[in-house]
Amino acid sequence: MIRPPRRWAGGALGLLLASFNPAAAMAGPQAAAPPAVPRPVVEAGEAQPDIVVLAPWQGIPQPRGKDEEGLWMLADDEERQLAQSARRLRDPALEAHVKEVLCRAVGPERCGDVRIYVMRMPLFNAAMRPNGAMEVWTGLFFRTASDDELAVVLAHEFAHFEKRHALNAYQRLRKSANSAAWVSILGVPLIPELSLLAGFTSFSRDQEKEADLLSLAYLKQAGWSAEAGTRLWSRLIGEARATAVARGQPPDRLLKSGMFDTHPDMRDRAAYLKPAEVEALSDPKLEDVARYRAAIRAIMPEILQDQFGRNDFGGTDYILDQLLAIAPDPDLLLAKGELYRRRGSPRDMELAIPLYRAALAMPGARPEAWRGLGLALVRSGARQEGVCAVRTYLAARPDAPDAALLSSMIKDDPPCAP
């Protein structure tokens, strides 16, 4: 149903930079022309089903009967663990933003009692427990471009919650003796590294589709287009393919993994979430992008560090290119520079250097871009210029963990011109 995204590698970088205009960037991301990067394409799928009508809200679901009481106790216990987990990122501003997006999507009366927990996990996942605790992983923030895309995921999870889907999963699993499956009920992945999309594995295919359709109703009520879901799923499909191809595997390998057996194929999802009148995907509104990026900016270093730790050059590069094509951003340019510099071939240094320079030409660039630029220049033979860039970094970050090491590396170099 979906044409594979065109493959592209170094050539796209040239396109990106050729159309990147630092003067426009100085005026802010909204003023810069979007680069011509190949984007995921979704063909017309099955007609979009009728959007369901939201039922009146009855208040946060209360446990009914023994099974639900058991499930709630489990959920309360897990929420206590979540709250104290070392993986929890305590960023009140980000939690508030996530809550605000959820509230806009599902309406203020529905969202009131929801508690948000941001967990430092580099995979795409979110889960809502039946007691109203919502867990969002940092890997979701890396792959999402805008508030409306974040809303798609939050609304989907909220739909499982409103429809009490966890109860069926709980009853099914209680009958089976499969203890490994137990942990997946409440959103904890079985084997995180097996899949980009861990979690999401315990609901039935019908429940997943019901949650998708109910989430469309929420989005419509909030004035967001259902296209956001298609855009997000198409990007994830593109990432899965880029990861597989860079590892020398068949492109659709990760899409056909057994992990997806119990819920709609990502490709079906991208198609049936697409509004019938939409022929080609358009970018999110820049205001939704800007608000979203501002909200995640504080945790970008952690998001990127964890993503780089996954050793997925192909998928990481794909996501960065897609996000940069929507609007330039100093953190994303820095991230792409780091991705290439860390891979470390001489050609990679040539690719990384202009990315750091483009980041530094934008307002809000982090001093780490001077560090990356300096190290890449030194590696490519431009030692004096590189040393001076590293010194600029050290002047801005005298207490950086690597400050002593870098200072000792360049202590014998001649001083830089003021």
Q: Which residues bind Zn ion (CB under 5 A)?
A: 208, 211
**Residue 240 Cβ vs Zn ion, minimum distance, rounded to whole Å:** 17
Closer residue to Zn ion in complex, CB, 127/359 = 127
**Residue 212 Cβ vs Zn ion, minimum distance, rounded to whole Å:** 8
**Residue 127 Cβ vs Zn ion, minimum distance, rounded to whole Å:** 9
Closer residue to Zn ion in complex, CB, 13/213 = 213
Closer residue to Zn ion in complex, CB, 211/222 = 211
Question: Is 212 within 8 Å of 224 (Cβ atoms)?
Answer: no
Count of beta carbons in the 10 Å neighbourhood of residue 168: 16
**Residue 166 Cβ vs Zn ion, minimum distance, rounded to whole Å:** 11
357 closest CA partner among 30, 34, 33, 16:
16
Closer residue to Zn ion in complex, CB, 269/274 = 269
**Residue 199 Cβ vs Zn ion, minimum distance, rounded to whole Å:** 8
**Residue 99 Cβ vs Zn ion, minimum distance, rounded to whole Å:** 20
**Residue 209 Cβ vs Zn ion, minimum distance, rounded to whole Å:** 9
Closer residue to Zn ion in complex, CB, 207/307 = 207
Closer residue to Zn ion in complex, CB, 219/365 = 219
**Residue 91 Cβ vs Zn ion, minimum distance, rounded to whole Å:** 25
Closer residue to Zn ion in complex, CB, 68/208 = 208
Question: Is 271 within 8 Å of 2 (Cβ atoms)?
Answer: yes
Closer residue to Zn ion in complex, CB, 194/286 = 194
